[in-house]
Structure 1
Amino acid sequence: MVSGGVLLFVPGVLFAGCPDLPRQGEGVVAAIDDGRSLRLQDGREIRLAGIELELSRQAEAKAALASLASGRVITLRGVDDAPDRYGRQPAFVFTDDETRPLQIRLLEAGHALVGTGIAQADCRGELLAAESSAKIARRGLWAEPSALKNAGNPGDIMSRVGRFTVIEGRVLSVREAGGTIYLNFGRRWTQDFAVTISRRILGSFEAAGIAPKSLENKRIRVRGWVERRSGPQIRIREVGQIEVPGAP
């Protein structure tokens, strides 16, 4: 469920947040560029907002998106239609015969992961519920047990540097150094996995009613791009990157 902007995820709970987003226009799909990008007949390039792809399953994701959207009339929804640095318009995309966005359908089939930059917490909850259904049923990328990485295995996580990854484990300690808060998942701070939170975004945590220190000794799930520092890390840019599975 959603509490003040922090996604406290409960399996099986669905929201209707994505269809309520502002309308950005419509068009006809002319081509599929990859598993989350398509082009319209009027030349616009569209990126499916809020999802990321697993590198090893790009071909499957592209084929799935083509089967759902090629030649279809689509409606675009979102809070911001400003193009990304590649000139693509980010949007939640609905075909003319479906009330669920393409993102939900790809997530339910295990062809994508919930990403970042989702402004509406209810919409994020809907996406996470779809991802969870695929994980429980072991569909698509979730057929591999290693799809959800173990925070206690830093060597495995290090192999994911530069890639979007979902990691779960228990926070052993929370420490602050300079302007950064560290959620440590191991005792060897120079080798084990850690999550970093800049003090500059603590206001969003406070607005959500949660203090990073309260995550100590809790099992959490975090998603983002793995970086190499002394050990593998994920930098938190928004509160929604952190989930507390099974929280009430």
Structure 2
Amino acid sequence: MTTLFLAVTGIQPALSQTCEALREGPSGRVVTISDGDTFDLDSGLTVRLVGIQAPKLPLGRAGFEAWPLGEEAKAHIEELVLGETVTLHYGGETRDRHGRALAHVTVEGEDGPVWVQADMLRHGLARVYSFADNRSCLDVLYAAEAQGRADRAGIWRDPYYAIRDASEVDDLLEREGRYELVEGRVLNAEAVGNRVYLNFGRIWREDFTVVIENAGLRVFAAAGLDPLALDNALIRVRGWIESGDGPRIEVTHPEQIEVLARP
């Protein structure tokens, strides 16, 4: 990443089917699909497509309501990989706490290898979803998501996935516990103890806030980035909505923030 955080204005990185930051892992045939970002190989390994989040399905969870387009996302990935041999590629942690492989995945298509994550994003059937320990190739994935959004593909036609306005505090509070994309201008960025707060309103106990804890600040520092430089910037942040002195999102790594305009 050559600029502070992830700039989404101006020239986008070219969409490619490979990313040099990844190292090749094992291959296997896909035998079952759970949802739009999880499937099983004939080796018994469960694969979670890292870097994206497809609309969720209940998968046996009592009381869980399927997200819109969950079945469509599952159907698309079934068409793409079910019964096919895929290759895993790793760019960070390789296993989650459930023992699933956290991998980027390619499958042979008519015109060469297809990067499954980028394909799902371009079709509007997933959003970029990253972790501090798995941040490879996110610039290309963001560009694929941006293409899907510009084309109003899939989820980008559904209000459930609309980008939220940071000033709409009540609306954000109603979405507590949901993964959301929120846009707004940072009124001020300030360090308080071992945290940094990006405040989007004058009443910090009520308005939307981005919180970066000490562990996250270490990730920013390792990347040579200073979140205090976001003062007065127009940004888009993604993460899980929490309620605490107003709606908030905790940011654990710089790639959760896209800079739309600088002061």
Assess same fold via TM > 0.5: yes
Matched, 1:147 2:136: no
* Aligned ranges 1:148-167 → 2 under 5 Å: 148-167=163-182
- Asked if structure 2 preserves the Cα contact closer than 8 Å seen for 1:19 and 1:77, the reply is no
Root-mean-square deviation (CA, aligned residues, Å) is 2.1
Change (3 A) 1:111 1:17: closer
CA shift for structure 1 position 18:
4.4
The match for 1:74 is 86
Matched, 1:186 2:201: yes
- Asked if structure 2 preserves the Cα contact closer than 8 Å seen for 1:19 and 1:100, the reply is no
Q: Which of 108, 114, 119 is the matching residue for 1:105?
A: 119
Question: Higher mean Cα deviation, 225-234 or 31-40?
Answer: 225-234
CA distance in 2, matches of 1:99, 1:159: 42
Matched, 1:128 2:142: yes
CA distance in 1, matches of 2:220, 2:142: 20
Gaps of 5+ in 2: 56-66
CA shift for structure 1 position 14:
1.9
- Asked if structure 2 preserves the Cα contact closer than 8 Å seen for 1:194 and 1:233, the reply is yes
Corresponding letter in the other structure for 1:13:
P
Identity of aligned residues (%): 35
Q: Which has the higher contact order (CA 8 A, sep 6+)?
A: 1
Matched, 1:119 2:135: yes
Change (3 A) 1:199 1:166: same
Corresponding letter in the other structure for 1:223:
R
The match for 1:14 is 14
CA distance in 1, matches of 2:94, 2:150: 35
Q: Secondary structure at the match of 1:168?
A: strand
CA distance in 2, matches of 1:4, 1:204: 16
Q: Secondary structure at the match of 2:68?
A: helix
Give the aligned length.
244
The match for 1:33 is 34
Q: Could you list the per-position Cα deviations for residues 137-156 of structure 1 after superposition, in whole angstroms to 9, with x for gaps in the alignment?
A: 11111113561111111222
Q: Secondary structure at the match of 1:14?
A: coil
Change (3 A) 1:36 1:5: farther
The match for 2:61 is none
The match for 1:59 is 71
CA distance in 2, matches of 1:43, 1:24: 15
Change (3 A) 1:42 1:207: closer
- Asked if structure 2 preserves the Cα contact closer than 8 Å seen for 1:52 and 1:113, the reply is yes
- Asked if structure 1 preserves the Cα contact closer than 8 Å seen for 2:92 and 2:135, the reply is no
Bigger fraction of residues in helix: 1
Corresponding letter in the other structure for 2:205:
T
Q: Which of 200, 203, 214 is the matching residue for 1:199?
A: 214
- Asked if structure 1 preserves the Cα contact closer than 8 Å seen for 2:235 and 2:261, the reply is no
CA shift for structure 1 position 131:
0.4
Corresponding letter in the other structure for 1:94:
T
Q: Which of 207, 213, 221 is the matching residue for 2:228?
A: 213
Corresponding letter in the other structure for 1:161:
E
CA distance in 2, matches of 1:17, 1:105: 9
Question: Higher mean Cα deviation, 3-12 or 210-219?
Answer: 3-12
CA distance in 2, matches of 1:100, 1:150: 34
Q: Could you list the per-position Cα deviations for residues 33-82 of structure 1 after superposition, in whole angstroms to 9, with x for gaps in the alignment?
A: 11100001121100000011343332221111111111111010013463
CA shift for structure 1 position 163:
2.0
The match for 2:58 is none
Gaps of 5+ in 1: none
